[in-house]
């Protein structure tokens, strides 16, 4: 929203949006690329959330396919993950 309104805007929704997103952006600062402009930090954080939602959540929920709109190398990555998991679970003691 900061593309359209300034952070200090009196618009109610902008105040609420800034109040809830600034702490999240601050938490992601250590893993945010240093060369990004300050205006692009929220976009970078949104990208992290997208990647977590796209890859981690389906794996945690037990889906065999990582995402509906799969990336080109996704089947190979999933195969490696599931082969390693099967290897670790079936390892002879």
Which tens digit of pLDDT belongs to each residue from 56-73? 777 777 766 655 555 666
Whether the CB-CB separation of 21 and 34 falls below 8 Å is answered with: no
Number of structural domains, the chain?
Answer: 2
Whether the CB-CB separation of 32 and 44 falls below 8 Å is answered with: yes
Check whether residue 57 and residue 72 sit in a common domain.
Answer: no
Dist CA 66 CA 60 (whole Å): 10
pLDDT given at position 45: 92
Question: Which domain covers residue 2, as residue numbers?
Answer: 1-61
Whether the CB-CB separation of 21 and 42 falls below 8 Å is answered with: yes
Does the pLDDT of residue 80 top 60, yes or no? Answer: yes
Check whether residue 69 and residue 91 sit in a common domain.
Answer: yes
Dist CA 59 CA 3 (whole Å): 34
pLDDT given at position 23: 92
Check whether residue 38 and residue 83 sit in a common domain.
Answer: no
Give the pTM: 0.57
Check whether residue 83 and residue 57 sit in a common domain.
Answer: no
Dist CA 28 CA 23 (whole Å): 9
């Amino acid at each position: 929203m900061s593309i359209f309104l300034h952070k200090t805007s009196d618009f109610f929704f902008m105040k609420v949006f800034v109040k809830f997103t600034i702490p999240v952006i601050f938490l992601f600062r250590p893993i945010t690329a240093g060369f990004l402009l300050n205006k692009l930090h929220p976009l970078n954080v949104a990208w992290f959330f997208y990647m977590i939602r796209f890859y981690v959540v389906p794996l945690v929920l037990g889906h065999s396919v990582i995402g509906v709109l799969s990336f080109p190398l996704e089947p190979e990555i999933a195969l490696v993950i599931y082969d390693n998991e099967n290897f670790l679970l079936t390892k002879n003691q």
